[in-house]
Amino acid sequence: MTATARKSRRVLVVGATGRLGVAIAESLADRGDEVVLTARDPNKLEQMSASLARESTGSRPAPFVCADLTHRDAVERIVEGLRAAIPISADGTRGSIDDIVLACGPFPRTPFDELRREDLERTITVHCVAPLLLVHALAGDLAKARGAVVALGDAGTTRPFEHHVAYLTAKGAIKTGLRALAVELAPDVRVNIVELGIVADPEADADPLRQHRLATRSQLGRFGTPAEVVHVVTALLDATWATGETWGIGR
Ligand SMILES: NC(=O)c1ccc[n+]([C@@H]2O[C@H](COP(=O)([O-])OP(=O)(O)OC[C@H]3O[C@@H](n4cnc5c(N)ncnc54)[C@H](OP(=O)(O)O)[C@@H]3O)[C@@H](O)[C@H]2O)c1
């Protein structure tokens, strides 16, 4: 039996300059997908875009759009930006997206005694309101491409940890929102979540005792690697018979 060549997909990576976003975008480009990037910092985006030029895209830098997801017009900016940044395809379609990976947002520490309304509003906006509205705005593109959304969730939503009430609330909200979108968008668009434990960060993991304490919370007793996250993200992008699912790793 001869294997059929996999058709390249155009994937929007949100939070594309983050530790996991970079690993995801690189892996998608390596397998021949066309990656479109969004994040806040234009310098990081420009660098990342140039580094993703691959043979499969004629060595063109990856299109990118700068947007701050806390801004009310972020979704419009991203949609308009990607329509303008992506070359018109052979069938005359302008800047259409096939799949989305949501890997965005900060990890703000919000000590309980100092928790403020703004912390909750800001974090819920970046991690939940803007990503949900973005998927909503691109639902037509995704449906036309029989596309997929894969979001990075956090294991802390089922086993919370201290000093992160705003972050964990936001991650819980996006999880529920995406499961609702899976219902709204079925059967044309699949929406799945990777719910991860802690990925090793050589810069942040300087304290071996803290590292040991945190790592042993997970059954496998260690932090994960970006490659292990990428593996599950791409598997869910390709999982044509799965929607509304949460795949837990490193929990
Ligand atoms: N790393 C982990 O151990 C871990 C564990 C569980 C879940 N997760 C989840 O995995 C995802 C990625 O994590 P990561 O470690 O790769 O994060 P990261 O390195 O901090 O990267 C975050 C990304 O989000 C972007 N971003 C942050 N604030 C933004 C804003 N206001 N508007 C637009 N973009 C914004 C950043 O772009 P700029 O630099 O331009 O701001 C960057 O591209 C997150 O959703 C996180 O909750 C991570």
- Tens digits of per-residue pLDDT, 150-159? 999 999 999 9
What is residue 54's predicted lDDT score, i.e. its pLDDT?
78
pLDDT tens digits along 29-39? 999 999 999 99
Tell me the average pLDDT of the chain: 93
5 located within any domain: no
Please report whether residue 169 resides in a domain.
yes
Range of the domain at 54: 10-249
17 Cβ inside 6 Å of ligand 1:
yes
Is residue 40 predicted with pLDDT exceeding 90?
yes
In a domain, 139, yes or no: yes
Is residue 179, in this structure, part of any structural domain at all? yes
If you write DSSP's letter for every residue of 27-57 in order, what string do you get? HHHHTT-EEEEEES-HHHHHHHHHHT--GGG
At residue 130's C-alpha, the angle toward residues 124 and 135, to 5°, is 130
Is residue 3 a part of any domain in this protein? no
* Ligand 1 atom 25, closest CA: 15
Pairing between strand 148-154 and 190-196? parallel
Q: Which atom of ligand 1 is nearest to the CA of 102?
A: 45
Contact between 136 and 222 (Cβ < 8 Å)? no
| Torsion angles phi and psi, residue 2, rounded to 5 | -95, 140
Residue 1 is assigned to a structural domain of this protein: no
Count how many domains the chain has.
1
Considering the chain, what percentage of its residues have pLDDT values greater than 70? Answer: 98
Contact between 251 and 158 (Cβ < 8 Å): yes
Closest Cα to atom 6 of ligand 1: 154
Phi, psi of 35 (to 5 degrees): -105, 135
Residue 42 belongs to a domain: yes
Closest atom of ligand 1 relative to the 68 alpha carbon:
32
pLDDT at 2: 59
CATH number, position 104: 3.40.50.720
The residues, any chain, with a CB within 8 Å of residue 115's CB and separated by 6 or more, are: 165, 166
Cβ atoms within 10 A of the Cβ of 116, count? 10
Provide the β-strand partners of residue 100. Answer: 12, 149
State the burial class of residue 158 (Cβ atoms within 10 Å of its Cβ: 0-12, 13-18, 19+).
middle
Q: What is the pLDDT of residues 212-237, one digit of tens each?
A: 888 888 889 999 999 999 999 999 99
